[in-house]
Structure 1
Amino acid sequence: MDSVPSTTATQERIPTVIADELHIVYRVYGTGAGKGSATAALNRIIRRRPSVGMREVHAVKGVSFTAYRGESIGLIGSNGSGKSTLLKAVAGLLPAERGKVYTHGQPSLLGVNAALMNDLTGEKNVILGGLAMGMSREQVRARYDDIVDFSGINEKGDFISLPMRTYSSGMAARLRFSIAAAKDHDVLLIDEALATGDRAFQKRSEARIRELRKEAGTVFLVSHNNNSIRDTCDRVLWLERGELLMDGPTDEVIKAYEKETGK
């Protein structure tokens, strides 16, 4: 009698993000001393002359990986290694110079989909941020109290009724994360959100990321805090100078990274 394969063995792994030999190149114009004014640039455009002092920055170099539903993937590497650039490319905010990015569903980059406006109150920003992510007004109203409580910005006063310009950078970052995390995402891209706030807020954030994974989403997290990566992610991509050096289980990749960098 043939044995019945286990559920784990037969469970289909559903890809959510595929990067195929992805290259991202920034072009910086007008870098010559005294040559980069807006007037000079306009004159070059009108006269169809090439820009002076154009510099290319090859930020991501031939990166390939496949992310699956239910995964939480950390991105590590030194400053300038291409981590944030890679997130923006996955979110569709940067065009590929070469290669492709394929996504299932709509990726949400934390801080873009939940854009906040400094002259509006925190309350209005919660509503606008929720609507910007595709939530209905009814959904925003139903989750409003949870968003405010999760952010913790009212723990020392009624800050939610004050304009965002009165918030510290940490308070704004916590509210931004709370708005983004209130919605279930196909792909959620988080850049350093867990570096803000006290340890209690970080624990709440890590728990919410685990919930998002259980709800069939995929989470990408950029962080310089290896402990946050260990607590949150089951897989890590290690980038340096735009190249993917290692892709594997969290402990394995972080140990190699710490051995190499001494961090």
Structure 2
Amino acid sequence: MAVADHLDDPLDARVPTVIADDVHIVYRVNGGSGGKGSATAALSRILRRDRGESRGVRKVHAVRGVSFTAYRGEAIGLIGTNGSGKSTLLRAIAGLLPTESGRVYTDGQPSLLGVNAALMGDLTGERNVILGGLAMGMSREEIRGRYQAIVDFSGINEKGDFITLPMRTYSSGMGARLRFAIAAAKNHDVLMIDEALATGDRKFQIRSEERIRELRKEAGTVFLVSHSNKSIRDTCDRVLWLEKGELLMDGPTDEVIRAYEKETGK
């Protein structure tokens, strides 16, 4: 479904929260592969000259002309094979990457939650809950009021008092669950989740999916990047399918995922 289809829909008296207008994102990578005299290096030099690029700098066109409008109350899945530009697009929406051309407009403050979201490994989980809450704009009083719910939601204390240990002692799954629990404790204008639901057992995934539905009801917009089609189906009502940086399809979840599975066999 194209963006124009959404704009013509009378139901869309809703409030737009994110508008991507012909967004292009280009990475510039210093250095090249291959030795000076290798065929790969020679071809790279020829291509750089043809494109007018500086010596030793390679351009990667990660997102190519993507346009869409997201509305308050939507949960939108982003799907595509590895390297399709999903995470790059989320980082641009969050304001962490500049666009080469085109614009991203947001209503409210976007928050990006990734598996690698920065918490401090030498500090305890307890201390990281406080710092993470403060970083999201919560007051100390709000953090105190929600602290136990965050710990319980993450489930990291189910096998011992891990919340009082440094985060460097956590498994990657435990750390990711705590990051999600901290982010999910606050109502967001726009919340972007990059693969967080892929961590943890099914019980945690169900809790996460329920919380995403609550965030939608509380007038936010949620974007979810996941390689789990089941998580997308269970959580999202709309899906954007990207491949090689281009938006191939934008529409209802079942329709887009069926087309994706038919094309990719995944």
| Same-fold call, TM cutoff 0.5 | yes
Q: In the alignment, does 2:73 pair up with 1:70?
A: yes
Distance 1:10 1:225 in 2: 29
Q: Which runs of 5+ in 2 are unaligned?
A: 1-9, 37-52
Shift of 1:32: 5.2
Contact 2:115 2:176 in 1 (8 A): no
For 1:256, give the aligned amino acid. Answer: A
Contact 2:77 2:223 in 1 (8 A): yes
Q: In the alignment, does 2:153 pair up with 1:117?
A: no
Contact 1:114 1:180 in 2 (8 A): no
Distance 1:189 1:31 in 2: 33
Partner residue of 1:252 out of 252, 255, 264: 255
Shift of 1:53: 1.6
Partner residue of 1:196 out of 196, 199, 221: 199
For 1:195, give the aligned amino acid. Answer: A
Residues 254, 189 of structure 1: alpha-carbon distance in 2 compared, 3 angstrom cutoff: same
Which digits, 9 at most, give the CA deviation of each residue in 1:119-170, with x for residues without a partner?
0000000000000000000000000000000000000000000000000000
Partner of 1:57: 60
Q: In the alignment, does 2:20 pair up with 1:27?
A: no
Distance 1:142 1:113 in 2: 26
Distance 1:233 1:11 in 2: 18
Distance 1:167 1:133 in 2: 22
Q: Which runs of 5+ in 1 are unaligned?
A: 1-8, 36-49
**In percent, how many aligned pairs have the same letter?**
82
Partner residue of 1:138 out of 138, 141, 155: 141
Residues 112, 167 of structure 1: alpha-carbon distance in 2 compared, 3 angstrom cutoff: closer
For 2:249, give the aligned amino acid. Answer: M
1:107-256 pair list within 5 angstroms = 107-111=110-114, 115-256=118-259
Distance 2:167 2:135 in 1: 17
Number of residue pairs the alignment of both structures matches: 241
For 2:18, give the aligned amino acid. Answer: V
Residues 76, 32 of structure 1: alpha-carbon distance in 2 compared, 3 angstrom cutoff: closer
Shift of 1:30: 2.1
Deviates more, 1:16-25 or 1:105-114: 105-114
Contact 1:59 1:241 in 2 (8 A): yes
1:41-56 pair list within 5 angstroms = 52-56=55-59
Distance 1:114 1:122 in 2: 14
Distance 1:147 1:199 in 2: 18
Partner of 1:16: 17
Shift of 1:33: 5.5
Partner of 2:92: 89
Distance 1:178 1:190 in 2: 12
Q: In the alignment, does 2:106 pair up with 1:103?
A: yes
Find the residue that maps to 2:159 and give its secondary structure. Answer: coil
Distance 2:226 2:163 in 1: 27
Distance 2:174 2:244 in 1: 32
Shift of 1:10: 7.0
For 1:22, give the aligned amino acid. Answer: V
Find the residue that maps to 2:20 and give its secondary structure. Answer: strand
